[in-house]
A and B are shown apart, each in its own frame.
Chain A
Amino acid sequence: MPRQIMIDPVTRIEGHAKITLHLSDSGEVTDAQFHVTQFRGFEKFCQGRPLTEMPSLMARTCGICPVSHLIAASKACDALLAVRIPATAANLRRILNLAQIMQSHALSFFHLSSPDLLLGMDSDPVRRNIFGVATDRPELARDGIRIRQIGQMIIELLGGKRIHPAWTVPGGVSSPLTAEHRDTILAMLPEATAIAARTLRWFKRSLENFTEESTSFGNFPTYFLGLVGPGGELEHYDGNLRLCDAQGNLVEEQFPPERYQDLISEAVEPYSFMKFPYLKAQGYPEGIYRVGPLARLNIIDKCGTPGADQEWAEFRELHRGALLSSFHFHYARLIEMLYAAEKMTQLLKDPTILNTFVRARAKPNAEEGVGVAEAPRGTLIHHYKIDKDGQITWANLVIATGHNNLAMNRGVLQVAQRFVRGNAIEEGMLNRVEALIRCYDPCLSCATHAVGQMPLQIQLLDPKRNVIDQIGRDSNGEQTRSST
């Protein structure tokens, strides 16, 4: 009898979700769905708020990546004011964004994914977590803590607060950088650079242990989207959109981000609160694309810092054309950590970073504004409309994790078909399904604009979609099973 497996909750990701696997009579996986089961609706409750509140309000979308929302919201408000912010303010925002990317990637890699990579996908789930890593490789765990701490300290030094800094405002930033804070940050960055570099060395040595995962973890052709600088270089704060196909060919080049609605549209499915963005020209669901670290490194011509450029060249040698396996999100994440540390150093060594003109002031000069930046997980779009009094009448957020929704669903199916045998379900099989999701480091708080922690469940359904078997974890992490 055909059955369905449900993984609920998915662990070691941000937010609440579950996975459903549909099985044939013989136990083969025939379909898979990644459900996001939380709803929040920031787009609705920001209506009626003055635009000046939007950066700090939008930063509350998520406790994990508030800086990304702060920056995209500020850029959207810059557009509503129709101002070009001072160059120093743009670079200060750029540093803030890079610090966020560095610390966020550190959490994803060291805290959430390194247990799979260090201890093995099939290792005892009781130990397959950061505490197991701390026991087996304390220096790796300390590195993870330290580089994340450095990123958080930079955010705090710039923004005043780590979680919801209010320093970035429409028109620029609220205060200039002091020489003392610049020197403090510069003193920490060599250590961050060294940690990123040695983690990359360790990861590259470990790659040979994961050849099966790297060939079957979301390894399929898609388009790749992200911002690039004017010279095609890696760019997280500004620039234009570039879209490449699976062969690495340019499909769209220097596409103005404020015209994103000409490029992508959003579909909805009844089984998830997370929307399904797709490329309009290719249609739904053929217009599947990926964003985030892997996409960014697939679309660029160079990183723009010495260490990262060297690593990127090696990374691109893994495959001709775009690197398709989502397993390599981890690799790309580490290169971006190195880039972030190097790029922040470059920007802070420029004396103009201490300029005191950091804010352009204006009243609302446009009815509509779009702000786009690269968040740790990919391209983040904030789009607002205001009335004559500058109050928000409409908002649309296209979130990094949402862009990857189609790819995550297809990836879950691929991993499940490769590793799950419905007649003899083992924990390691389910962990691989979860691990595929972790490659994307989804932030479902952002994607649904909700807050939470993501546990995982697997459910078996018959052809009429009746649940006949369910495997999950309780609040203590104990596996639970209920059959009918």
Chain B
Amino acid sequence: MKVIIIGYGNPLRGDDGVGWYVAGRLADIADEKSVQVLACHQLTPEMAATIAPASLVIFVDAECGQTPGLIRRSTVVPSVPIGAKGCRRPLGHIMSPEQILDIARDLFNATPSALLTTVCGQSFAHGEDLTPVVQRSCDQVILQIRQLIERLRSDQQIHDDGEREIYGYA
């Protein structure tokens, strides 16, 4: 089993840096093959290839409009296949976790389990620091992810599956 943790957002916009903060403090649990931790500004299409070999992907992002510091977790599932419904969301350079999963499924026949953890921000003004209430919630998220990884490791569920060959076409 391979786990990939992806924290994303803009670390220059206060609490939008939730994903970077969490990923940065989880860097020590990453190893060569079985646990990968990434921090990025935004989700982009090639991440579908990155997550394709994984069994579990944990996305970490900030949200707004709720109580500051509120932690929410949800399961992310790909949308119905394009042939049946299509995609109505306007597409730009950035993508949602669902769209990354859609591409992983459509192009690489990969369907990793995925979780989205969000922490509601309080301030998105310019600055590199999280507000105290958000930082406390992030520390809680970090602890929970650590515990999850430790549990998977102790159950020997995390191991290196080896690199899956996903570009073996002419």
Q: Which A residues have a C-beta under 8 Å from some C-beta of B?
A: 9, 11-14, 45, 60, 63-64, 66, 103, 107, 111-112, 124, 126-127, 129-132, 134-135, 138-139, 141-142, 144-146, 148-149, 152, 161-164, 191, 451, 453-455, 473, 475-478
Q: Answer whether A453 and B92 are a contact pair too, CB < 8 Å, given A135-B83, A152-B46.
A: yes
A148–B169 contact, CB under 8 A? no
Closest residue of chain A to B105 (Cβ to Cβ) is A134
Q: Does B63 contact A (CB under 8 A)?
A: no
Q: Is the CB of A453 within 8 A of B49?
A: no
Is B65 close to A, CB under 8 A?
Answer: no
Residues of B contacting A127 in the complex (Cβ-Cβ under 8 angstroms): 82, 86-87
Which residues of chain B come closer than 8 Å to A142, judged between CB atoms?
107-108, 167, 169
With A45-B126, A145-B48 given, is the CB distance from A131 to B106 under 8 Å? yes
Q: Select one of B10, B44, B49, B106 contacting A107, CB under 8 A.
A: B44
The answer on a CB contact under 8 Å between A131 and B87 is yes
Q: Provided the pairs A107-B44, A142-B167 are in contact, do residues A478 and B10 lie with their beta carbons within 8 angstroms?
A: no
Given contacts A13-B93, A127-B86, A477-B88, 5 further A-B contacts (CB under 8 A): A60-B12, A112-B93, A129-B86, A129-B91, A453-B90
The answer to the question of B164 belonging to the interface, with a C-beta cut-off of 8 Å to chain A, is: no
Interface residues of B in 21-72 (CB under 8 A from A): 39-42, 44-46, 48-50
In Å, the complex CA distance between A336 and B107 comes to 25
Taking chain B's interface residues, is the majority helix, strand, or loop, or is none over half, making it mixed? loop
Q: How far is the CB of B101 from chain A (nearest CB, A)?
A: 12
Q: Which of B50, B81, B92, B99 has the most CB of A within 10 A?
A: B92
> Are B45 and A107 touching (Cβ within 8 A)?
yes
Q: Are A9 and B86 in contact (CB under 8 A)?
A: no
B residues less than 8 Å from A103 (CB atoms):
46
8 CB < 8 A contacts A-B: A126-B88, A131-B99, A132-B82, A134-B106, A138-B106, A142-B108, A473-B90, A477-B89
Pair B92/A63 contact, Cβ less than 8 Å: no
Bound CA–CA A9/B90 (angstroms)? 9
The interface size of chain B toward A, counting residues with CB under 8 Å, comes to: 34
**Contact partners of A13 in chain B: CB under 8 A:** 92-93
Task: Give A66 to B103 CA distance when docked, in angstroms.
Answer: 25
B contact residues vs A (CB 8 Å cutoff): 10, 12, 39-42, 44-46, 48-50, 81-83, 85-94, 99, 102-103, 106-108, 126, 167, 169
Indicate if the CB atoms of B82 and A134 lie closer than 8 Å: yes
**A163: which of B41, B50, B82 is its contact (CB, 8 Å)?**
B41
Q: Write the chain B residue with the least CB distance to A146.
A: B167
**Could you tell me the distance between the alpha carbons of A63 and B41 in the complex, rounded to whole angstroms?**
6
**A152–B43 alpha-carbon span in the complex (Å):** 13
A132-B82, A162-B40 as given contacts; A476 in contact with B89, CB under 8 Å: yes
In the assembled complex, the Cα of A454 lies from the Cα of B92 at a distance in Å of 6
| A478: B residues at CB distance < 8 A | 88
A45 to B127, CA, bound (A): 11
B102–chain A nearest beta-carbon distance, Å: 6
Task: Tell me the bound Cα distance from A9 to B48 in angstroms.
Answer: 26
Complex partner residue of B49 from A139, A145, A477, CB under 8 angstroms: A145
Residue of B nearest to A107 (CB): B93
Query: What are the 5 closest A-B residue pairs judged by CB atoms, nearest first?
Result: A63-B41, A126-B86, A477-B88, A453-B92, A149-B46
